[in-house]
Amino acid sequence: MTDKTLLDTASEQSSFDAFAFSDTLKQNLVDLNYTSPTPIQEKAIPFVLDGKDILAGAQTGTGKTAAFGLPLIQQLLDEPKAREPESKVIRSLILTPTRELAQQVFDSLVQLTKSTDLKVVVAYGGTSIGVQTKNLRGGADILVATPGRLLDHQHTRNLTLAECEYLVLDEADRMLDMGFMPDLNRILKRLPKERQNMMFSATFEQRIKALAHRIMNQPIEVQVTPANSTADTVKQMVYPVDKKRKHELLAYLIGSRNWQQVLVFTKTKQGSDALAKELKLDGIKAVSINGDKSKEHVKKR
């Protein structure tokens, strides 16, 4: 589906008035200049409002945060629950692979929950856990978190997921690519079996479907682009090469094409260190960034 098709489709859609949103939520949409739902919002929102588990294929920039955020907020508003000062209950959990995405989702949900009594909290690594601990006092209606920092808060008993009603996995494919499956398994064990699940992924590869069918109840698949498609702005090329000569080919491409800024992904931390070392031997300035490196180490390089 091309960008033009997406725009044309969106222009033909009805307004958000077609959904059973509260007056407050509708006003927030007006204030944010949300005029009509995007394709993923139009397809996903009715199923979420109906309590269905969904596996949605949507890339960044398609409005996926509102696709799960709007119906999630509405369901929380429909069944309000008082938060006690000593409560640690999290009613809904949104997991993201990166702190940047967590902050972005949090900011959007804060805007969408304006003038409601819903409490939205964000928790991710690299920032003060003390401030997050304070924000979690009394529990939260919505917690946006990265897996590692969520487990930190669980370990210190700052929260409980025993009564969590909704689970959202945002950019699930990236979460698996970044090696979060062990953390996800630990988190899933702490969630109640009776809950509504939403999984959003840019790709529908087999491991994503396997995860969905393992943790979800008869998930409905929703797609707005062909399965496993990439953005139209991404140019892809494949170079068949022997594994032992991959770094040699990379060095040749960088040098012969005068590439000034290159981001290379490797399968392992050790692989990133080894590749950076090899590129340096070829006279190419390179730095390895992975989970074993501190921010200070990277800045010094």
DSSP string, the chain: --HHHHHHHHHTS--GGGS---HHHHHHHHHTT--S--HHHHHHHHHHHTT--EEEE--TTSSHHHHHHHHHHHHHHHS--PPPTT--BEEEEEE-SSHHHHHHHHHHHHHHTTTSS--EEEE-TTS-HHHHHHHHTT-EEEEEE-HHHHHHHHHTTS-B-TT--EEEEETHHHHHHTT-HHHHHHHHHTS-SS-EEEEEES---HHHHHHHHHHSSSPEEEESS-TT---TT---------GGGHHHHHHHHHHHTT-S------SSHHHHHHHHHHHHHTT-------TTS-HHHHHH-
Q: Point out the residues of the chain with pLDDT beneath 70.
A: 1-14, 225-234, 291-301
| Rounded to 5°, angle at Cα 173 from 142 and 214 | 75
Please give the pLDDT value at position 241.
Answer: 87
Output the pTM of the full model.
0.73
Please give the pLDDT value at position 160.
Answer: 97
Q: Which of 134, 138, 120 is nearest to 73 (CA)?
A: 120
Q: What is the CATH number of domain 3-223?
A: 3.40.50.300
Q: Delimit the CATH 3.40.50.300 region(s) of the chain.
A: 3-223
